[in-house]
Structure 1
Amino acid sequence: MIGRIVVGLDGSDSSWVAADYGIYLSVKLKKPVVGVHIVDIRLLETPFVEDLAGALGFTTYADITPKLKEVLDERGRAILNEFAKKCRERGGDCSIAQTFGIVANELVDMTDPEDLLIVGKTGMHNKFAPLFLGSTSEAVARKSKCPVMITTNKFKEIKRIILAFDGREKSVHAAQYLNDFAKNLSIDKVTVISVLEEKSGGKEEHIKELLESHMNLEYELQFLYGYPEEEIEKYIKENREKIDVVTMGAYGESRIKELILGSTTSYIINKSPVPVLLIK
């Protein structure tokens, strides 16, 4: 099912954890992994460069732009070479690529629908310019045409997977994706949680029928009741030592509804203490 594994690298601790997952999955699934570094062109735009030039004592920002571009380019190549070294040492099938652009856009453009894109939850630039750069991981998750894994600050082998399932199209896709993904990781059984507003009988039966139709591996189904984002977050945090990856459909609501009510996907991306695998 997976064509390539593409890992976004920016040199942050979070992205090195993403690299660990990419190399690990390359070896386990016997798939090629591509380490990608995007030099964010917004770091070369006038307001940011002017401030940096002033801080470093340059008389005009034009004096620093070529130097900054060269430094960022060299730094990116060093990151990619370190990734390639780690990948070779661990037996992964790897390649590397670097370009300039808007990070989220470039990562999305470099992937195909059958790829798996892996990014860290927090990047290097969050430390000094979070408002300027925004949330790259969430932008990638929203724009990507392929599944996206958003990793946290610690690597763990993937042995225990939960699926958050609400019966809508994207969660059905997630259930179908797990059939091969879990099997290829030698995982025979997963846990499925489904959050309903209240006990009704009919909705529970509908969820059960959908899972029976679309999941080919063994699973344990648990129903929770309340607001989806709150109940999913609570379940993950209470069972964090027993969960290696949370799988769910990505952005199932319309953009207008998400703006008014918020997005369960975005909420879980930000709150989950374990990696989140999002399926389109």
Structure 2
Amino acid sequence: MVGRILVGIDGSKSSWTAADYGIYFSKKLKRPVVGVHIVDIRLLETPFIEDLAGALGFTTYADITPKLKEILDERGKALLDEFAQRCREAGADCSIAQAFGIVANELVDMADPEDLIIVGKTGIHNKFAPLFLGSTSEAVARKSKCPVMITTDRFMEIKNVILAFDGREKSVHAAQYLNEIYKDIGIENLTVITVFEEKSEEKEKHIKELLESNLDIPYELEFLYGYPDEELEKFILDNRNKYQLVTMGAYGESRIKELILGSTTSFIIHKSPIPVLLVK
């Protein structure tokens, strides 16, 4: 059973789409949605503050920091008020929360294992991503102890879903998670995609047995052959107008193997034109 739905709100187009999905899931699952705004403390500590102070005419760096903090705090409150208004108009059960800190860390710390976090792929501070060492959405997905949905800039009602399934533990968890939400969300079609580098009847049989044991809802199974990242990306892109959600296990490889070979999860997060739901 899904607990709360936590939505990261930063004022970007992507975060307002995430808000729409949060309200959508709240009403479908009959669970509360929480709009969360984190004032990123790195905006108060990074070198560009000195340039900003000079441009605004502040004589010392210290003059601008408290004022900027106050401005960011007020901006966050205004964003959350707008989120709450959207919730009330949609008839969703919602609350709001605000904090200062590192965005990914604070958002993850607020969530319980049974919750669902929804964040936009591209945040308001995306242009500072190189300075901040990676995207917030990916950091949340890596650190979270609960499922994370990463949205694009366009809301779509979820009817047709892809499950990327490789037979490992986290992909099994993704299948089981769909069992829980399938009926309430109103999913009409589920397509399971498994990619092998080469054809293997033994491996295909193993995948079929795992799905029969762990997926309790109707589905179609399709095997693809080649490099998993490339084949999965191609399938999603070719069918972007048919499906509204990709579900997969989050970061199934060891960190060492990911460092050497890369991560399918990270690749799909960045490449998918439709939202991605990651299950631990």
For the pair 1:81 / 2:81, whether they are aligned, the reply is yes
Where in structure 1 are there 5+ consecutive unaligned residues? none
Q: Distance in 2 between matches of 1:54 and 1:186?
A: 54
Give the C-alpha shift of residue 188 in structure 1: 4.7
Secondary structure at the residue paired with 2:22?
Answer: helix
Give me the TM-score of the superposition, normalised by structure 1.
0.98
Q: Is the 8 A contact 2:170 2:252 kept in 1?
A: yes
Q: Give the match for residue 129 of structure 2.
A: 130
Give the C-alpha shift of residue 49 in structure 1: 1.9
Query: What do residues 156-186 of structure 1 show as CA deviations (whole Å, max 9, x unaligned)?
Result: 0111111000000000000000011112112
Q: Give the match for residue 226 of structure 2.
A: 226
Q: How many residues align?
A: 279
Aligned residue type for 1:211: L
Secondary structure at the residue paired with 1:241?
Answer: coil
Moved over 6 A (4+): none
Q: Give the match for residue 38 of structure 1.
A: 38
Give the C-alpha shift of residue 55 in structure 1: 2.5
Where in structure 2 are there 5+ consecutive unaligned residues? none
Secondary structure at the residue paired with 2:119?
Answer: strand
Q: Give the match for residue 57 of structure 1.
A: 57
Give the C-alpha shift of residue 100 in structure 1: 0.2
Q: Distance in 1 between matches of 2:33 and 2:186?
A: 20
Q: Give the match for residue 96 of structure 1.
A: 96
Give the C-alpha shift of residue 56 in structure 1: 2.0
Give the C-alpha shift of residue 46 in structure 1: 5.0
Q: Distance in 2 between matches of 1:29 and 1:43?
A: 36
Q: Give the match for residue 154 of structure 1.
A: 154
Q: Give the match for residue 114 of structure 1.
A: 114
Aligned residue type for 1:204: E
Aligned residue type for 1:256: I
Secondary structure at the residue paired with 2:47?
Answer: helix
Q: Is the 8 A contact 1:188 1:217 kept in 2?
A: no
Q: Distance in 2 between matches of 1:174 and 1:143?
A: 17
Give the C-alpha shift of residue 51 in structure 1: 2.3
Give the C-alpha shift of residue 189 in structure 1: 3.6
Aligned residue type for 2:131: F
Q: Distance in 2 between matches of 1:71 and 1:189?
A: 46
Q: Is the 8 A contact 2:160 2:188 kept in 1?
A: no
Give the C-alpha shift of residue 279 in structure 1: 0.2
Q: Distance in 2 between matches of 1:168 and 1:25?
A: 27
Q: Is the 8 A contact 2:251 2:265 kept in 1?
A: yes
Q: Give the match for residue 183 of structure 2.
A: 183
Q: Give the match for residue 5 of structure 1.
A: 5
Q: Distance in 1 between matches of 2:254 and 2:28?
A: 36
Secondary structure at the residue paired with 2:59?
Answer: coil
Q: Distance in 2 between matches of 1:187 and 1:131?
A: 37
State the superposition RMSD in angstroms.
0.9
Q: Is the 8 A contact 2:158 2:186 kept in 1?
A: no
Q: Give the match for residue 261 of structure 1.
A: 261
Query: What do residues 199-233 of structure 1 show as CA deviations (whole Å, max 9, x unaligned)?
Result: 11000000000000000000000000001110000
Q: Distance in 1 between matches of 2:155 and 2:279?
A: 21
Q: Is the 8 A contact 1:188 1:218 kept in 2?
A: no
Identity rate of aligned residues, in percent? 77
Q: Distance in 1 between matches of 2:235 and 2:56?
A: 49
